[in-house]
Amino acid sequence: MLALARMETIVIGHRNPDMDSVCSAVAYAALKECLGERNVRPARAGALNDRIAFVLEKFGVPQPAFLPDVTPRVRDFMVKDYIGIRPDQPIAEALARMSAKGLRALPVVDRDGRFHGAISENKLLGLVMPSRGAAQRAREVRASLANIAATFEGRSLTGPLGTDEENYALVVAAMDAETFAARLKNLDPARTVLFVGDRDNVHRTALEGGVRALVVTGGAAVDPVFAAEAQARGLAVILSAWDTATSVIFARGAMIARHALEEVPVRFDADTPLEIARRSVSLSNKLIFPVLDEHGRLEGILSKSDFLKGPARRLILVDHNELSQAVPGAAELPIVEILDHHRLGNMPTEAPILFLNQPVGSTCTIVADFYRRHGLAPARPVAGLLLAGIIADTLNGTSPTATDTDRRFLEELGETAGIRAADLAAEIFAVGSPLQTMSPAKVIEADAKRYEEQGVAFSVAQIEEVTFANFDAQRDHLLGALQHRVQSEGLFFAALLVTDINAQNSYLLVEGNADFRKTISYPEHSDRVWFLEGVVSRKKQLLPYLTECLARVR
């Protein structure tokens, strides 16, 4: 249940998002919300072009969140409100915090937020209760008198207690004064803290023997005259309400955290991909790992148990189904639904999912159909976005990919949105000609899709223009940009389809493998540029053609 409560569902289109993928993501997330699903958010994997921004603004819909990468990272799993301990605090306090919260380790952090190391249950156990082989350490404690007294809420009768650390020996005088006097000869009195009940003669022996501190246990009273003499001669006298054995056990917790530190050489920053963190953590015997910011301050703590948490996000993919086109990191998250109208190129999934791939003109048509099936009408702004998505993908119902279903929704959604499809189409395509408003590098990547087939990778981009008037001036720059992309991404070829949506024709520009280019049989417009009469669809017309050409040279 906990995992479900924090689970967020992201509806997201392909990289280099186009109108259809952005609008279908927003509209489908809105439908999920209407259906009562919680924590469903639309997102986009890339920048919005001017036409998409125009449509969102026209219908008053905020831009979906920009999520360039969904790889699970340390920041999604670390604990930010961790419980820590300062280096100058006693380990007794660390133990109290650990046992109160059931923790097995604490980070040691100073007042500036700097991480010093960890304190673990295991290490503390060894310090407080050494093995028999280390028995001579069993009564030693490196601490100040003030911290020792604090562990059993002791009250000093001889003024403020020292705050300098020493290696003290905790000694119990469960014997008569004479035996103790003999034993004191084998001790270093200046480092001895003596625990004893109401035995006045032992108190006196301790004072005469130069013992550093006397803890009078069991709530026993001490003669004020003795206390005054002790103060004058430098013997600290401390009252404990606890019995001797309990007071000694508590006193062992007086050591400060700094001396009980364990180094933690494995450190992360919040951006570290979780998988990389998992590998380092699996090789370490530590329990907690610091997540540090760029100033070396502790931002969070990653514990081994954090890796058992389920993923915090799951994905609904719209307008694509191939992982090579999906937002980076998608393969590491559960994909719970796919709505698409492209060729199948998806990986097998582990669990059954809703997969709807319908050969219609746009994903927005599929989403509009979902509303209809649920007996719901999209709100006016959502209808506007759905309309825009269908218009952009089907060139307002004229592309060979357009179906009667698309055209029917163009009509219906126009009524709901309060604008005729033809009018919205004119407004959309009048916004910024890509050739005039974008750099050649941006033009060829704005809507580029990458494919992997027959052992090679290639990319195909498309832009829509309302005229070819600006084409010739940009042609050589576009070829240069394609050439650059071929080299930088190691592609077999890179193509750009420039479509005149009024005349319903396209130019095809191809850079890359020369043998491949020779297989293109359309009329040549100029070097590496062909004229494709009646071709307006990358998916339905161009891609099958390019795949065929590719088969001839592979």
Q: Name the site residues for Mn ion (rule: CB under 5 A).
A: 20, 319, 362-363, 393
- Give the SS3 label for residue 426: helix
Going by DSSP bridges, is the β-strand pair 449-453/456-465 parallel, antiparallel, or unpaired? antiparallel
The residue among 118 and 410 lying less far from Mn ion, judged by its C-beta, is 410
The residue among 361 and 440 lying less far from Mn ion, judged by its C-beta, is 361
CA-based nearest residue to 449, from 326, 337, 271, 340: 326
What are the CA-CA distances from residue 168 to residues 134, 139, 148, 174, 357 (Å)?
A: 16, 8, 10, 18, 76
Q: Shortest approach of Mn ion to residue 18 CB, angstroms?
A: 7
The residue among 193 and 366 lying less far from Mn ion, judged by its C-beta, is 366
Classify each residue of 284-298 as buried b or exposed e, where b means 16 or more C-beta atoms within 10 Å of its C-beta. Answer: eebbbbbbbeeeeeb
Q: Shortest approach of Mn ion to residue 21 CB, angstroms?
A: 6
Q: Shortest approach of Mn ion to residue 64 CB, angstroms?
A: 16
Q: Shortest approach of Mn ion to residue 341 CB, angstroms?
A: 6
The residue among 357 and 505 lying less far from Mn ion, judged by its C-beta, is 357
Phi/psi at 168 (5° precision): -95, 150
Q: How many helices (H) and strands (E) does the chain have?
A: 21, 22
Name the token pair of 361. 């003109």
Going by DSSP bridges, is the β-strand pair 493-500/505-512 parallel, antiparallel, or unpaired? antiparallel
Q: Shortest approach of Mn ion to residue 405 CB, angstroms?
A: 14
- For residue 436, the one-letter residue type is Q
Q: Shortest approach of Mn ion to residue 401 CB, angstroms?
A: 9
Q: Shortest approach of Mn ion to residue 371 CB, angstroms?
A: 17
Q: Which residue in the block uniquely carries the two structure tokens 């705050």?
A: 163
The residue among 42 and 311 lying less far from Mn ion, judged by its C-beta, is 42
Q: Shortest approach of Mn ion to residue 101 CB, angstroms?
A: 51
Distance CA 332, CA 334 (A): 7
Q: Residues near 253 by Cβ (< 8 Å), separated by ≥ 6? A: 90, 91, 92, 93, 95, 128, 151
| Nearest residue to the partner Mn ion, using Cβ | 20
Burial group, residue 266, by CB count within 10 angstroms (0-12, 13-18, 19+): middle
The residue among 20 and 412 lying less far from Mn ion, judged by its C-beta, is 20
Measured over the CA atoms of residue 450, residue 453, residue 456 and residue 461, the dihedral's sign is: negative
Q: Shortest approach of Mn ion to residue 508 CB, angstroms?
A: 20
The residue among 158 and 363 lying less far from Mn ion, judged by its C-beta, is 363
Name the token pair of 84. 């820590």
The residue among 319 and 464 lying less far from Mn ion, judged by its C-beta, is 319
The residue among 325 and 416 lying less far from Mn ion, judged by its C-beta, is 325
Q: Shortest approach of Mn ion to residue 20 CB, angstroms?
A: 3
Distance CA 288, CA 100 (A): 18
> For 336-343, which contacts have Cβ atoms below 8 Å and span 24 or more sequence positions?
336/9, 339/24, 339/28, 339/363, 339/366, 339/367, 339/370, 340/366, 341/365, 341/366, 342/539, 343/539, 343/543
The residue among 272 and 321 lying less far from Mn ion, judged by its C-beta, is 321
The residue among 25 and 105 lying less far from Mn ion, judged by its C-beta, is 25
Q: Residues near 270 by Cβ (< 8 Å), separated by ≥ 6? A: 73, 74, 75, 78, 291, 293, 299, 300
Q: Shortest approach of Mn ion to residue 449 CB, angstroms?
A: 11
